[in-house]
């Protein structure tokens, strides 16, 4: 990805900018501008169900912190806005260590979950109405895997997925058959419920209530469905509401 299309935030240097992204509507507005291109506050109000006064205010906040900027106007009557960058990233470790910055992780991840739900609904509707051809039926899906990995292996896995995503995105850039694909990978380690001495054969004892399964993909879907939401490409909008993962959360030390 071109460096000009990415903005890396540092909690020490950019605390106000980080705080600006803790508002869910600002994430939605930024997602819409990144996916659909320049728009006015009124157009964004129609797409989000908010008032134009509200979208206008939040756009000005985003502009104050250089996430959006004025775009070329179709006429002189209303200001149009555009996204300045296609990806925003930060170090999770730095954010967690910075006082008052943790809310950014919570807000962005909750919005990502909402975006995933919206994407599933739109995907199913597109299949049902025939807007997506049968060639998309087999490769689409959501995986639910629980491998045991070290921090180093998890980092290697995500780096591999991200590199492959970049390669395939570049390859398909001019292919007319290409469609927008929402790709999400949640890499969330879980601490063992048992102390080290309570593990059987060195393996943690899983809580059968919280364990997601035997490692097979959920709902019969196959694994490795896409790029990482935290540390991968920005997620696009799903339907009339903005895509959440306008924000990218790299692993600790990434993009530093």
Cβ-contact 179, 132 below 8 angstroms = yes
Burial (CB count <10 Å: 0-12, 13-18, 19+), residue 72? exposed
125's tokens? 């509707």
The Cα 151–Cα 155 span in angstroms is 6
Cβ-contact 83, 71 below 8 angstroms = no
Cβ-contact 138, 225 below 8 angstroms = no
The Cα 195–Cα 191 span in angstroms is 10
pLDDT tens-digit readout, 54-100: 999 999 999 999 999 999 876 667 789 999 998 888 888 888 888 77
Instruction: Return the pLDDT at 199.
Output: 52
**E runs forming strands in the chain:** 6-9, 39-40, 68-70, 80-83, 87-90
pLDDT tens-digit readout, 169-178: 999 999 999 9
Instruction: Return the pLDDT at 234.
Output: 35
For the chain, the residue count is 256
CB count in 10 Å sphere of residue 213: 10
- Three-state secondary structure call for residue 68: strand
Query: Which among 93, 87, 69, 16 has a CA at the least distance from the CA of 243?
Result: 87
Q: Mean pLDDT over all residues of the chain?
A: 76
């Amino acid at each position: 990805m071109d460096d000009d299309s990415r903005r890396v935030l540092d909690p020490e240097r950019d605390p106000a900018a980080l705080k600006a992204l803790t508002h869910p509507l600002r994430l939605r507005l930024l997602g819409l501008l990144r996916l659909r291109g320049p728009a006015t506050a009124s157009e964004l109000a129609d797409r989000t169900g908010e008032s134009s006064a509200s979208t206008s205010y939040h756009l000005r906040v985003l502009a104050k912190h250089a996430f959006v900027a004025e775009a070329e106007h179709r006429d002189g009557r209303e200001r149009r806005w555009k996204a300045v960058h296609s990806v925003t990233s930060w170090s999770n470790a730095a954010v967690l260590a910075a006082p008052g910055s943790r809310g950014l992780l919570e807000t962005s991840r909750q919005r990502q979950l909402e975006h995933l739900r919206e994407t599933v609904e739109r995907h199913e509707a597109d299949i049902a109405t025939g807007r997506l051809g049968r060639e998309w039926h087999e490769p689409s899906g959501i995986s639910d895997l629980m491998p045991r990995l070290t921090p180093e292996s998890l980092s290697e896995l995500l780096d591999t997925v991200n590199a492959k995503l970049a390669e395939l995105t570049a390859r398909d850039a001019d292919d007319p058959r290409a469609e927008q694909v929402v790709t999400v990978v949640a890499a969330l380690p879980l601490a063992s419920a048992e102390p080290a001495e309570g593990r059987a054969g060195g393996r943690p004892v899983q809580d059968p209530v919280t364990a997601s399964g035997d490692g097979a993909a959920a709902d019969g879907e196959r694994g490795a469905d896409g790029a990482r939401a935290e540390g991968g490409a920005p997620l696009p909008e799903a339907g009339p509401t903005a895509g959440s993962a306008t924000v990218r959360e790299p692993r600790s030390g990434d993009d530093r």
